[in-house]
Amino acid sequence: GQNIDQPTEMTATEGAIVQINCTYQTSGFNGLFWYQQHAGEAPTFLSYNVLDGLEEKGRFSSFLSRSKGYSYLLLKELQMKDSASYLCAVPDRGSTLGRLYFGRGTQLTVWP
Amino acid sequence: DTAVSQTPKYLVTQMGNDKSIKCEQNLGHDTMYWYKQDSKKFLKIMFSYNNKELIINETVPNRFSPKSPDKAHLNLHINSLELGDSAVYFCASSQDFRQGAQPQHFGDGTRLSIL
């Protein structure tokens, strides 16, 4: 299996910037996903990184360092609606590439 | 025009009963999944089908039996329900991952409560 670690909770204020970290240990690396899950709703896909570096998508950016087994999700200009759980996930390898191993999620609370 | 839809959204039943959850996707995806999310919000894969063929079968009790009549549908039948089965069950779909890792699209979940 894979070992994925992310903080349990984070808080921030509206308009601020927050960085959610994720570290992983895998037996083979096939990229890293970030998902957002609002309370009582489905997880929704945010980003996928397979190469080192930062990928920006509007207010959200995701960074990957394969050598360090590390990723982060950067949220800028925080809004109340960004309060949610953010899940880091890595796929398995080979014929079971579809198996996603999820971290336990980081619950982000954005205060006014 | 919901992409991944599952029914029912809520399921409250007694221990020992048998129940089914249905899932359908209209995204034209080849691969479908069932996940279980426990009370601590940990999301764990249970099964995956690719074009009606079972490809991932995690260590789940054999009381859980998935069925895929076609690639757009993946149902989950649970026999002899137990208290520990209480959780949210999510269906998901993706393009065929044999082309590479693919983002998965999730349904809204089925909240199963065992009395």
Kindly indicate the confidence band of residue B11, based on its pLDDT and cuts at 50, 70 and 90. Answer: very high
d(CA B28, CA B30): 7
Q: Provide the number of CB pairs (under 8 Å) joining chain A to chain B.
A: 61
DSSP calls for A30-81: --EEEEEE-TTS--EEEEEE-SSEEEEETTEEEEEETTTTEEEEEE-S--GG
pLDDT digits (tens, 9 = 90+) for B81-114: 999 999 999 999 999 877 778 899 999 999 999 9
Average pLDDT, rounded, for chain B: 93
| pLDDT for res A1 | 56
Tens of each residue's pLDDT in chain A, 112 residues: 578 999 999 999 999 999 999 999 987 888 999 999 999 999 999 999 999 999 999 999 999 999 999 999 999 999 999 999 999 999 887 767 678 899 999 999 999 9
Closest-CA distance, A50 to chain B, in angstroms, reads 9
* Nearest residue in chain A measured CA to CA from B109: A42
Q: Residues of B with CB below 8 A from A44's CB?
A: 106
Q: Is A69 on the interface with B (CB under 8 A)?
A: no
Q: Is A48 on the interface with B (CB under 8 A)?
A: yes
